[in-house]
Structure 1
């Protein structure tokens, strides 16, 4: 769990510094915030999020977008492979941060360590 607590630390964005936080955990799932943007060109802001892990290494990140919509991003072995959107999902790794893009303009910054298997 220490690894997860350390993963939700200060994050940097080229435009603005954002903070991912951990406000609670049950040892498997965690509540906190992640930097996100819901539309193309929007600035990143702190969005409430819940990371739910399964024993098989899969995880779901549920993010409450500024629009009021909840976006689920599904991971297998730490890699995002789909979402609750029908739009294309892609990602890139920048240092310790995984940046996830869902067309046409959603952006999420996730600490890679938060997605590592326990």
Structure 2
């Protein structure tokens, strides 16, 4: 149920996306929250996020961390391939969820449906 709610928070209409914006984003795309942790050992929390998709199959997920930093994760055809961090990025896809890890301890959970729509 929580995953479905998260997917729905990321799949919003353009009209509602223009109401608010996340620092460092354009405010024109899907706004919502994603579960994230910024530091190793930190519990997951709900982080404001904006998903920007392009017609060429690329997308950018901007996430406001509780440290005040905005982390950008870049996707090509639904697969995370880099981020605004210079640290190593890996991911797993258990079920309908994508879990992204950025060393040393950042973790993000994104519904695959949000990337495929």
Counterpart in the other structure of 1:10: 2
TM-score, normalization: structure 2?
Answer: 0.81
- The aligned length equals 103
Q: Provide, for residues 72-108 of structure 1, a one-character-per-residue CA deviation record: whole Å limited to 9, x for no partner.
A: 0000000000000000000001111000000000000
Q: Is the helix fraction higher in 1 or 2?
A: 2
2:93 is paired with a residue of what secondary structure? strand
TM-score, normalization: structure 1?
Answer: 0.80
Give 1:29 shift. Answer: 2.2
| Aligned-partner Cα distance in 2 for 1:78–1:86 | 21
Give 1:11 shift. Answer: 2.5
Q: Provide, for residues 7-29 of structure 1, a one-character-per-residue CA deviation record: whole Å limited to 9, x for no partner.
A: xx6229xxxxxx62248431882
Structure 1 segments of 4+ aligned residues over 4 angstroms from their partners: none
Q: Is the strand fraction higher in 1 or 2?
A: 1
- Residues 104 and 80 of structure 1: CA distance in aligned 2, closer, same or farther (over 3 Å): same
1:86 is paired with a residue of what secondary structure? coil
Aligned-pair RMSD on alpha carbons? 2.1
* Unmatched 5+ stretches in structure 2: 16-27
Counterpart in the other structure of 1:72: 72
Counterpart in the other structure of 1:26: 14
Give 1:50 shift. Answer: 0.1
